[in-house]
Amino acid sequence: MDKYVIVDGKKYKRGYTTGSCAAAATSAALRGLLFKEVPDIVRLTLPKKEVIDIEVFDFEMGENWCSSTVIKDGGDDIDATNNMEIVSRVMIFDNGDFTSNSDISIGLAKNGSYKYELKNVRVLITSGVGIGVASRSGLGCEVGKPAINPVPREMIINEVKRLIEKYDDSQAVDSIGSLEINKDSLEINKEDEFESNKKTRLKINKEDDFEGDKEARLKINKENNLKSEKLANKTIVVEISAPKGEEIAKKTFNEKLGIIGGISIIGTTGIVEPMSEEGWKKTLSIELEMQKNKGMSTAYLAPGNHGTAFLIDRFHINGEDIVKISNFVGYMLMEAKRLGFKKIFLVGHIGKLVKVAGGIFHTHSRVSDARNEILIANLALMGAPTELLKKVEKTRTTDESVDMILNEGYGEVYNILARKCVKRSKEHMRDENIDMYVALFSLDGRLLGVSDNEMI
């Protein structure tokens, strides 16, 4: 993986997600349990086949368990979870025997688990302290189960599979011992020079179709009836925890999203891209999808806290039904279309939504700013005098021009802008069948314009 990325001409460090941390910690713990050695560094293959090295911070080992701790490194994209500990405790039991362990049984009963069947081995992924539980659908996690998203679970399972296969291979080699099979082509001596060298434990002659790969070794093993039963009919329990997760979760969107009692283990690529908006946008998509899943047919969207308060106070919309979309107007309109909403109600401050009336769908000032220009153009089309246009041009904020526009009798411009927001938005979505309503307000709470008088 490239450790750095260039954003807006500056060099930033990439990081890794809580999902990568959980997978790396699990890999280290299971390796300690199977091979009695915990690595200092875990080399992890990510979903898009990138490879990263993650340092193991600490570990503990018991008779049938091992735990490993990784420190979350978000790179230069610092969020609430940066530098927190992610712990994986891995335990191996005979199938059913873990029910006699009250600690494990209580944890599984309380938080639930995700079950996977790997040949003769069952794997349960569950959560411990500091990991939240999903209380709503639409999160990628079953309601009532740990907030460990699908991709991190897949990464964990891939590491478990890889280490089980490696362990089975090593057991197959050990079980053959000093057995001689075709001395001219295969030499195995457990007591001699191959004991500590994993790469040369098998000497296999290509001419005899024994190339040292896993398939050849399994073939030898099967022919000599030397199958290892060491992991057969076992249950591997993977418990992910975050000691400070409950405290840190209060600084995140988790509770609003429906994740209760801790952080979530997330990530779709395993990598945190610095200064990226993608993670934020994905969070908003999840929130909008949750509105759809609870039966909402109208998407109530507001850029921020003021728009949210206006929807609640003026239009009497339940605050839990509103999604704050920040500056990502275009992206969230497309998400509303994708999710099948029949109606969109967009309410925002004139300074934000005047940009949408001009066809600008990312409203952050560093990306675009044509507030006065759009306002002046529409006033000019109404026949407003040049003197008013010059006054508006000199204003620094759209609120500053509100009273001068209203006093001159050109307040209808705000209704025109609201209707243009609807027109531009439908063009952006390429869908005329979605009903859409827009309301514009000033910072002092006045309703300035609506796209449809039925809204008032």
pLDDT per position as a tens digit, 211-234? 334 443 333 333 333 333 468 888
pLDDT at 374 over 60: yes
pLDDT in tens, 180-200: 434 443 343 433 433 334 333
pLDDT: is 397 or 40 the higher one? 40
More confident of the two residues 100 and 141: 141
Q: Which helix (H) or strand (E) holds 357?
A: helix 350-357
pLDDT digits (tens, 9 = 90+) for 82-100: 999 999 999 998 876 665 5
Domains of the chain (ranges, CATH numbers):
4-162+232-272 (3.30.2110.10), 180-223 (no CATH), 278-455 (3.40.1050)
For residue range 150-161, list pLDDT tens digits in order.
999 999 999 999
Provide the H-helix boundaries in 81-213. Answer: 102-111, 150-176
Higher confidence at residue 257 or residue 32? 32
Whether the Cβ atoms of residue 272 and residue 15 lie closer than 8 Å to each other: yes
pLDDT of residue 256: 78
Better-scored residue on pLDDT, 367 or 115:
115
Q: Has residue 241 got a pLDDT over 80?
A: yes
Question: Which pLDDT belongs to residue 397?
Answer: 85
Q: What is residue 189's predicted lDDT score, i.e. its pLDDT? A: 40
Q: What is the pLDDT, as a whole number, of residue 137?
A: 72
pLDDT at 208: 38
**8 Å CB contact between 398 and 369:** no
Looking at residue 136, its pLDDT comes to 80
Whether 364 has a pLDDT exceeding 50, the answer reads: yes
Provide mean pLDDT across the span 204-212.
36
pLDDT of residue 101: 59
Start-to-end CA span in the chain (Å): 54
Provide mean pLDDT across the span 162-171: 84
| Strands (E) located in 350-452 | 435-441, 447-450
In this structure, what token pair is assigned to residue 386?
């040049």
User: Is the pLDDT assigned to residue 304 strictly greater than 60?
Assistant: yes
- Residue 410 dihedral angles phi and psi, to the nearest 5°: -115, 30
What b/e readout covers 156-175, taking b as 16+ CB neighbours within 10 angstroms? bbbbbeebbeebbbbbbbeb
- Which has the minimum average pLDDT: 135-139, 140-144, 254-258, 364-368? 135-139
- Amino acid identity of residue 189, one-letter, is N
> Quick one: what percent of the chain has pLDDT higher than 70?
80
- Give the pLDDT confidence score for residue 202 in this predicted structure: 32
- pLDDT higher than threshold 60 for residue 272: yes
More confident residue, 192 or 170: 170
**398 in Cβ contact with 375 (< 8 Å):** yes
Nearest to residue 26, comparing CAs of 148, 205, 145, 185? Answer: 148
pLDDT at 421 over 90: yes
pLDDT for 275 equals 57
pTM > 0.95: yes or no: no
pLDDT (tens digit per residue) in 39-77: 999 999 999 899 999 999 999 999 889 999 999 998 887
